[in-house]
Every structure is written in C-alpha cells, then in structure tokens.
Amino acid sequence: MQVTADMRPLDVLADFPAIPSGWAYLDTAATAQKPRPVIDAITRGYGETYATVHRGVYQRSADMTLAYEAARARAAKFLGAGSADEIVFVRGATEGINLVAQSWAVSQLRAGDRILLSQLEHHSNIVPWQLAAERIGAHIDVLPLTEDQRIDLDAMAEMLTSRHRLVALAHVSNVTGSVLDARRAAELAHGVGAKLLLDGCQAVPRMPVDVGALDCDFYVFSGHKLYGPTGVGVLWGRAELLDAMPPWQGGGSMIDKVSFERTTYAPPPGRFEAGTPHIVGALGLHAAIDYVEAIGLDRIDAHEAALVAETRARLSEINSVRLFGPENSAGIVSFGVEGVHPHDIATILDESRVAIRAGHHCAQPLMEALGVEATARASFGVYNSADDVAALVQGVERVTRIFG
C-alpha cells in the first residue's frame, strides 16, 4: 500500500513544537512528543493556578483539588472504568505494576501459587513479579510466542492450572507491536480463577481501551507515552480488589487517622497515593487524553496502521533487512540489518535526521527468544507521515551501502 501526502488522515505536526522541520521522530514507543495543549496545561498549572490539593481551605487550593480530581474522572472515562475511585495516580506503569505486586500479590498469594507471564514482556512486567514471587515463595511460568511473535494463547490454555493466581501480559508489545487478544486472555485466566493485569503502555496511545469490555482486573499505562508529561500514570483496578489491598507506602493523604497506637487508612484510591501527588502532571494527562480523543483513537489506529504497512513493505524490499513481529503490528516496526549492529543503524540514521530506538528495549528475554542481542525499532505517532517513512527507508539503504 502506497501512503501519499493526500491520503494522510492526520495533519497535526504543527501542534508539536519540539519536532523541527525535516526531523523524523520515530521513537514514540519510548516516549511521545508533547502537543501544545499539553504544554499549555502544564504551563498554566505551574504559572497561574498552582496550589496544593486535598489540604488547603483557601479558594485556589479548592480549585486545584477540583481540577486534579477532574483529571481522575477523565482517566476513568477514558478507560471505561465504572468509577473514578478505581483510578490510582502513579508515577507510571512501572510503579502501577509494582503497586499491584507488592500490595495485591503479596497479600493474596501464598507459597506454591503461580504467576503467568510471556516471553515478550517489558522488564517492568517481569521484575516486580520476580520480587514478589521471591518474597512469597510463588513460581513464575512463561508463555511462548507464535511464529510471528504474538503471545501464544493456545499455549496459555494448555499451561493454566488452578495454582495460577495471576496472569500479567502486555496489551501491545513494545518491540513487535503485536496486539493481544485481551478478551480471550481474560476468559482463560478467569477460567482457572486467576486475575489478569494488562500493561497498556503501548495500547492507550493508539487504540480505544474499555476495561469493562476487555474484562481484565488491573490495567496500567504511563502518561508520557500518551503525549502527556513524564512522572504520571494510571493504575485501574476493580473496586473490590483495590478495597481489599493494603497500602504499600505510608505518609500523608493515604490515612484516615494516625496515632502511635494505631493508624487507619483512607479508602481507595487515596490509600495508594501517599504524599503530595504530581498535581500538574495530572492536569497535563487530562489535556493529553482530551487531545487524542479529539483526534479519535480509531483515526490514530488507522493512521499508524498505514504507516506500518508502508514501512514493512518498503523495508522488506531490502534483501539484508530482517523484520520482526506480525504484519499488522500496532504502530511499531522492529528490524535488523544483516551484519550491522542496531546501534550502528541508529547512529547512521541519526546523521540523516531520523531518530529511532536501538537496543534490547527493556525486553531481554524477548531478544533471546528472537535469537538476537538487540533490534532497531521505528515507532510512529500522530505527527508522523509518509515523508518519515521515506526518510527511514532511505537511511536504511544508506546503512546497507556503508556496510556493503
């Protein structure tokens, strides 16, 4: 499929002041550039309306508290949550997963219980479970991948047992862009009484997510991959699960009453938000959600799908290029050039003003499964176009000429 300028469904590059003319930014899976409405919301939050939340009785503090909680309600609506109280603000998906691991898993799992992960998980969806498993005496099992590097749900159906209490999977792989059939994963997990946590970092920027329809139990994402600020993210959990979870950090805001004899804790989500929160980060996240929904996540998905299809088609014409992942990957294309280290690919592309990621992408077990040490990765966002695809392909052709 040939993508041309007049076919582009999106034309929003002017909204992103950090992307200069002629620079192809293809590292959105690592972190997205920020549109002007998000930057403006952060600037206003610090420059005009800043105050603490949940504490002050003066008007500005009350107004900021309303704005902060409005961001929580916006995130709940964005995910299809039943209530804003099911939304916990965290520093990012990594903290959200650690929270579930150290609160829900440590309090609910017992020695001999099992946790199921997959070979393509990001380290942030591996290491927290290893820490919890070591503490509890639980065991971790690992799902294999299909030939096109998707999570093998047929294998999941065969591997699950009544000892499995938790399944934690990436909704979209940060390396291959493969999309999980999350509903089927939920049915399989629930069939043996296990809970399902989904890492949605790569899903929420590019496709509609409804946690009710997916029927998962926990969902996490990071704001900075959704065109929002760093240092803020969301953990969604079913109300009854959050209510049964003990706090994992102590401090201000998460308490009901404190004495040296006994402390009681606030109900969720406050129970999990100790200390002064990232107030302005929540405002920026609100603006980011408004931004992507104004464009339309279905449009974003179609836009990125067209760019991925063109990229895979063009790169596949170069004999020395190896492509990873399924043909219909979501916004991400990982590849290698025979005889060339991915760091060298990225360095040469940078000379041509094309920015990609190179390395193991915090997914070393997946690299081992692929039989490589690292890959080059191009990942798309709303600001990318056919021109960026052309610049990438031309840069890769230059790599092959340099290395013969």
Q: Among all residues, which ones are annotated catalytic?
A: 362
By CB atoms closer than 10 A (0-12, 13-18, 19+), residue 186 is buried
Task: Say how far apart CA 302 and CA 330 lie, in whole Å.
Answer: 10
Task: Yes or no: say if 85 and 267 are a contact pair by the CB < 8 Å rule.
Answer: yes
Beta strand pairing call for 218-222 and 164-170: unpaired
Query: How far apart, in Å, are the Cα atoms of 125 and each of 94, 110, 254, 268, 363?
Result: 8, 20, 25, 23, 10
Query: Which residues, 6+ apart, have CB-to-CB distance to 51 below 8 Å?
Result: 58, 60, 61, 63, 64
The tokens describing 20, both together, are 């200069």
Compute the Cα dihedral for 189, 195, 198, 199 and give only its sign: negative
Q: Where are the alpha helices (DSSP H) in 80-146?
A: 93-99, 106-108, 127-136
Amino acid at 267: P
Beta strand pairing call for 164-170 and 24-25: unpaired
Taking the CA atoms of the chain, what radius of gyration do you get in angstroms?
Answer: 22
Task: Say how far apart CA 295 and CA 267 lie, in whole Å.
Answer: 35
The tokens describing 195, both together, are 């809970």
Beta strand pairing call for 139-143 and 164-170: unpaired
